[in-house]
Structure 1
Amino acid sequence: MRRETTNLIRFVLEDIVPPILRDSAAFHWLARRVWGEHITRLAAFRERAPFLTDEEYEMLYREHPRVHDGTDNSDACIDRIASDIVGDSICDVGCGTGALLQRIRALRPDITAMTGVDFVVDDAEAIENIKYVAARIEDLPFEDNSFDTVICTHVIEHLLDYRRAIAELRRVARKRVIIVVPREREYRYSFNPHFNFFPYTHSFLRAVHPSPRFHTCEDIGRDIYYCEDRPAEEPTEKPLKDQAA
């Protein structure tokens, strides 16, 4: 399923179906018909978020059905990411199978060094000039300013300590950080193992506070696209707008 399709489904579930129904036993019953008992495990997973062990966290993600073909990003977000990358080296944190890196390589053949990071990289596709590293985003095994551009898409919403994760992204980025998260509301019975929910762009701006002067934050088809220039490098060769949408 393409990201554009799931965003349309999310529009119906989040903006049309009222919360009193989304959190009801009737919706739970219907969701189980579509998603099986995994929908119940997801609800329990969020409720126990502060007490989960590393093993429980990893097991749920290993068992979670893959919804999207390849990448979780829409074509519009991929095009925007590729356009906003600066420098010769990039790191995709939360790379999954490496699908986004492959799309970027097709769009930006000028980028010579690509690294993908995820806590599980067993199923990442081996591609020439793409290096994979198994690590958690909260503790990246890289020196400060290791990459020109650091990318992190559809990851922050999954993390309990997301502020520490964002600090790590900024630490290893030399010129630019790009983050994409879904614009969504929280409900008891959700089809994703998300801990954090950002219904508006300004909701996410609170999460990344303080933002540097050169940044942009906008809605791209129900996904929040955030991009910032690192302060030590302001402005880069492709300066961002000084704004938040």
Structure 2
Amino acid sequence: MNRETTNRLRFVIEDIIPPILRDSALFRWAAQLAWGNHITHLATFRERAPFLSPDEYAELYRNHPRVHEGTDNSAACIERISESVLGTSVCDIGCGTGALLSHIRLVRPDVTQLTGVDFVIDDASKLDGIEYVAAKVESLPFGDGEFDTVICTHVIEHILDYRQAIAELRRISRRRVIIVVPREREYKYTFNPHFNFFPYTHSFLRAVHPVPEIYACEDIGRDIFYREDRPVDI
């Protein structure tokens, strides 16, 4: 299933079904027919979020069924990200399979350094010309301003300490930071292991406070695309 299909399904589930039904045992029962007991596990996961051990966190992600083939990004977001890259060095935080970096390498021959980071890099395709590093977004093993453009898509919604994660993205970026998160509302029963929910673009702007002078924040097909330029003295 691609991102465009899941976004259409999310429109029905999140915007059409009323909240009183969306959080009900009836919805949980219906969701279990399609998703099994994982729907209940996810609800418990969010309830216990502040108390989870690193091992519990990692175990849920290892067992979570993969929804999208290759990438969580829509084609429109991939194109917007690719055309927004500045400079010759790019780091993709939460790179997954490396699909986004592979696309950037194909359409942006001016980019000569491509680095992918994930806390587990076993799924990465390990293509030539792309370096992969295992690390957590809250503590990245790079120097200040090491990359011209730092990208982070469909990660911030998973991070409990998301402000620390955003601070790290800014720290290692020399010129530009690009972030994509789903535009969604929080309900008790969901199909994803998200901690943070951003129903509007201005909801996400609060998360990245302070917002720099040069930025863009827009809705692209139920995903929020955010781009900021770093101060010139970094």
SS of 2:15's equivalent in the other structure is helix
Shift of 1:232: 2.2
In structure 2, how many angstroms separate the alpha carbons of the residues matched to 1:35 and 1:205?
Answer: 32
Superposed, 1:13-24 pairs within 5 Å as 13-24=13-24
AA of the residue aligned to 2:201: T
In structure 1, how many angstroms separate the alpha carbons of the residues matched to 2:131 and 2:125?
Answer: 10
1:227 paired residue number: 227
1:110 paired residue number: 110
AA of the residue aligned to 1:97: T
* Preserved CA contact (<8 Å) 1:174 1:233: no
SS of 2:185's equivalent in the other structure is coil
Superposed, 1:171-186 pairs within 5 Å as 171-186=171-186
In structure 2, how many angstroms separate the alpha carbons of the residues matched to 1:163 and 1:216?
Answer: 19
1:28 paired residue number: 28
Shift of 1:154: 0.3
In structure 1, how many angstroms separate the alpha carbons of the residues matched to 2:103 and 2:21?
Answer: 39
Shift of 1:123: 1.8
| 1:150 counterpart = 2:150 | yes
Using the size of structure 2 for normalisation, the TM-score is 0.99
Percent of aligned positions that are identical: 71
1:66 paired residue number: 66
What does the per-residue CA deviation read over 1:24-78, in whole Å, with 9 as the maximum and x for residues that have no partner?
0000001111000111110000000000000000010011111011110000000
* Preserved CA contact (<8 Å) 1:175 1:233: no
In structure 2, how many angstroms separate the alpha carbons of the residues matched to 1:16 and 1:223?
Answer: 18
What does the per-residue CA deviation read over 1:181-202, in whole Å, with 9 as the maximum and x for residues that have no partner?
0000000000000000000000
| 1:124 counterpart = 2:124 | yes
1:193 paired residue number: 193
In structure 1, how many angstroms separate the alpha carbons of the residues matched to 2:168 and 2:190?
Answer: 28
Give me the CA root mean square deviation: 0.9
**Aligned length, in residue pairs:** 234
Using the size of structure 1 for normalisation, the TM-score is 0.94
Structure 1 unaligned runs (5+)?
235-245
What does the per-residue CA deviation read over 1:192-222, in whole Å, with 9 as the maximum and x for residues that have no partner?
0000000000000000000110000000000
1:55 paired residue number: 55
2:167 paired residue number: 167
Shift of 1:100: 1.1
Structure 2 unaligned runs (5+)?
none
1:96 paired residue number: 96
AA of the residue aligned to 1:166: I
In structure 1, how many angstroms separate the alpha carbons of the residues matched to 2:9 and 2:140?
Answer: 34
Shift of 1:97: 1.2
Superposed, 1:7-18 pairs within 5 Å as 7-18=7-18
Runs of 4+ in 1 over 2 A off after TM superposition: none
Shift of 1:133: 0.3
